Amino acid sequence: MSSPMLYFDELYRRSDDPWRLREGWYERRKRSLTLALLPRPRYRNGFEPGCANGELTAGLATRCDALLAADLHARAVELARERVAGASNVRIEQRSVPCEWPTEHGPFDLIVISEFAYYLDAAELETLAARIAGSLTTDGTLLACHWRRPFAEARESADRAHALFDARCGLARLAHHDEADLLIDVWSRDARSVAQREGLL
């Protein structure tokens, strides 16, 4: 990909929903899986970089007291703000992550990296992992969700990005969902299972 901004400019020029996030069954099912795999029903302060037009943001907003979502592209930020306009607990900002990491809004007890990491090169992924590790609270959750099929603009594969998070972030993996198209992993500083957290064990 010669220029990420030019790539996204072209996508948003053609459509305000270039990945069919609103209507596609694949995307709606993926959002349901993503939200269901979170080990806690509620989070105090969440961060979602690469929020696109805000469809997942709207779901995360129902689980967070405060949620910061960000995207590189101005049109995505505009669309995400429209999508969550009624949610007073959500803030949408234009940021280039990981270099413009929102330290001033942290620490976070939830960080969601969804359909974002494969646009980063190896050095940026290392920086992202370090930012995540330095920003999660002692009970914090990291969820990563990515398309597994190769595509021209991807600089890294979903599997390699998730393996890097597993190796670098210093977290216990709580859940792993693996399909031909899709990879979701959940890690936490709190290694207890959902049943253990709820006192069932």
Write out pLDDT tens, residues 105-164: 999 999 999 999 999 999 999 999 999 999 999 999 999 999 999 887 888 999 999 999
Question: Which tens digits make up the pLDDT trace of 153-162?
Answer: 888 999 999 9
Q: What residue segments make up the domains of the chain, in order of their start?
A: 4-197
Question: Rounded to whole angstroms, what are the CA distances from 7 to 21, 29, 35, 72, 119?
Answer: 18, 26, 28, 12, 11
- pTM for this predicted structure: 0.91
Identity (one letter) of the amino acid at 41? Answer: P
Measured between alpha carbons, how far is 47 from 135 in angstroms, rounded to an integer?
Answer: 10
Mean pLDDT per segment of 10 residues, for the chain of length 201 residues? 59 63 86 97 98 95 98 92 96 96 97 94 96 97 96 89 97 97 97 95 90
Distances (CA, A) of 195 to 7, 65, 72: 44, 23, 38
Superfamily of domain 4-197: Vaccinia Virus protein VP39 (3.40.50.150)
